[in-house]
Structure formats: structure tokens, C-alpha cells
Amino acid sequence: MQDASRKITLKPFGDRLRIAGTAELAGRDTRINRRQAGALLPDATWKGDPEYWSGLRPMTANGLPILGPTHVDGLWLNTGHGSFGFTLACGSGHVLADLIAGRPPARDLTGLGLGT
């Protein structure tokens, strides 16, 4: 279930409920707006204590991923996807697998590598 006006998504996760917000351009602010879930589910009761998590997610300014090798031997990047990270993850993973295996990727990667 998603409430776009509150920028929040709810998803059953086994016997738990995952409540997630969107990726935000908020610098290094990892605070969580806990009121959003309460506003969406005002009559909900919870079993046990909730676990809160927030992390920093590197994003490029235009939301395009950075895919490819780095100057560190064996370190490859698949990052920077912006708010579509999970949506693009599988396709980017295939591209990265091709690159690591030495195969030409199925997509043009112009502008998606370090220094490009």
C-alpha cells in the first residue's frame, strides 16, 4: 500500500510490516518522521517495539547511476540511482555482471561511469 501524498509505503514482510518513506535530498540528516505512519494508520495497534532504521543513500544529482570499475582493483560501483534504486537494481546488476565478466553490456553506458 502506498500513500503518495505522505510519501510512505507499507509492505507486509513476513509476520512484520515494513513502513518506508522515500529517498530525500536531505544531506546527512538521518532523522525519521515517525508521525507519518501514525497519520496513515491512526487506529493500528502494534505487537512489540518497532525497529527504526535510516541510512544515507548516495545519489547523483540527476538520478543516473554510476556503474563500473573504480581505481581500487576489484571494487565496482552500482550506486547513485536516486529514488528509483530498487526499480533499477536488477537491470544495473545485469550490466555490472557483464562488465565484471568482461562481456559488452547490453546497454550504452555513456555518462554512467566514474569520470564520465
State how many domains the chain has: 2
Position 74 scores a pLDDT of: 92
Is residue 44 domain-shared with residue 83, that is, in the same domain? no
Q: What is the pTM of this model?
A: 0.54
pLDDT per residue over 57-93, tens digit each?
777 878 788 888 999 999 998 888 877 777 787 888 9
> End of a domain among 36, 56, 76?
56
pLDDT per residue over 37-62, tens digit each?
677 777 888 788 888 888 777 778 78
Share of residues in the chain with pLDDT > 90 (%): 15
pLDDT band at 13 (very low <50, low <70, confident <90, very high): confident
Is residue 67 domain-shared with residue 34, that is, in the same domain? no
Cα separation, 59 vs 24, whole angstroms:
10
Cell of residue 22, nine digits: 522515500
Higher per-residue pLDDT: 2 or 72: 72
Is residue 91 domain-shared with residue 46, that is, in the same domain? no
Is residue 64 domain-shared with residue 102, that is, in the same domain? yes
Is residue 84 domain-shared with residue 45, that is, in the same domain? no
The full DSSP string for 8-56 is EEEEEETTEEEEEE-----TT-----THHHHHH-TT---SS--------
Query: What SS3 state is found at 57?
Result: coil
Position 71 scores a pLDDT of: 92
Is residue 52 domain-shared with residue 71, that is, in the same domain? no
Cell of residue 44, nine digits: 493500528
Q: What domain range is 46 assigned to? A: 1-56
